[in-house]
Homo-oligomer: A and B are copies of this chain.
Amino acid sequence: MLFLNDCLVLYSTLFKMPRIKEYNESDVLEKAMNLFWRNGFETTSMHMLEKEMGINKFSIYSSFGSKQGLLLASIKCYQEQLNSLLIEIEKGKNGKQAIKNYFYKFLSFSQRGNNKNGCLITNTKNELRDKAAPEIKNALVNFTLGVKDIFANALSKDSSRTVETINQQSDYLLIAMFGLSSASRVFDRDQLENYIEQIFNSI
């Protein structure tokens, strides 16, 4: 992602160099992401973001445009973190087992630090629905479609599944993952692990 800072570096080679930003945009973005992840969009106020990010409103708005702009940047930051778990699926030789491993890793990811934050993407889908800006909706939908594709590709590595079965099972796993994301905010770890085991009994 190209941040204003990068533009400034380019700019400074051509014109006079004005005052330098005192914060790192990817550092403060990570903090904003964690706040949205923990509290949701509406509950997270600009005041909370100022305190957590350590910068004031002017800086937030000059770097990210709006509160929803900051959420969109947070979602993309979050998606990059999830992607590093998702590519493990593609490496696995046994598709079903690779997806199952991903479910377990995701569970740890969603409950790290004893916080029951769930999944930022699922949380945002659940919370905003129609109220999200089109860019945010697109980011959420596209990521979800990507995950389904990864599931489908993994399943197609295993022997003897029809195209129809692969489509049904990847759809099923997608909703099961959505359910796990929501449930991970409420249920205990052992209940959730039992849930994962049962999910993979049926495919």
The digit string for A3-44, where 1 denotes a CB below 8 A from any CB of B, is 000000000000000000000000000000000000010110
The answer to whether A178 touches B182 (Cβ under 8 A) is: yes
**A43, A127, A186, A194: which has the most chain B beta carbons within 10 Å?**
A186
Interface membership of A176, Cβ < 8 A: yes
A46 at the interface (CB under 8 A from B): no
Contact with B along A185-198 (1 / 0, CB 8 A): 11100011011001
Q: Taking the complex as formed, is A82 at the interface, i.e. its CB lies under 8 A from any CB of chain B?
A: no
Within 8 A of B (CB), among A102-133: 122-123, 125-127, 129, 131
Distance from A126 Cβ to chain B, minimum over Cβ atoms (Å): 6
Among residues 156 to 170 in chain A, which have CB atoms less than 8 Å away from a CB atom of chain B? 168-169
- A195 and B171 contact, CB distance less than 8 A: yes
Does A180 sit within 8 A of B, measured CB to CB? Answer: yes
**Within the complex, which residue of B131, B180, B194, B203 is in contact with A171, where a contact is CB–CB below 8 Å?**
B194
A186 and B178 within 8 A (CB): yes
CB pair B179 A180 closer than 8 Å: yes
- Judging by beta carbons under 8 Å apart, are B176 and A195 in contact? yes
Chain B's closest residue to A171 (CB) is: B191
User: Contact at A175–B195, with CB atoms within 8 Å?
Assistant: yes
State which of B42, B168, B182 has its C-beta within 8 Å of the C-beta of A126. B182
Contact sample, A vs B, 6 pairs, CB 8 Å cutoff? A125-B186, A126-B186, A169-B198, A178-B182, A179-B180, A198-B202
Q: Which residues of A contact B (CB under 8 A)?
A: 40, 42-43, 122-123, 125-127, 129, 131, 168-169, 171-172, 175-176, 178-180, 182-183, 185-187, 191-192, 194-195, 198-199, 201-203
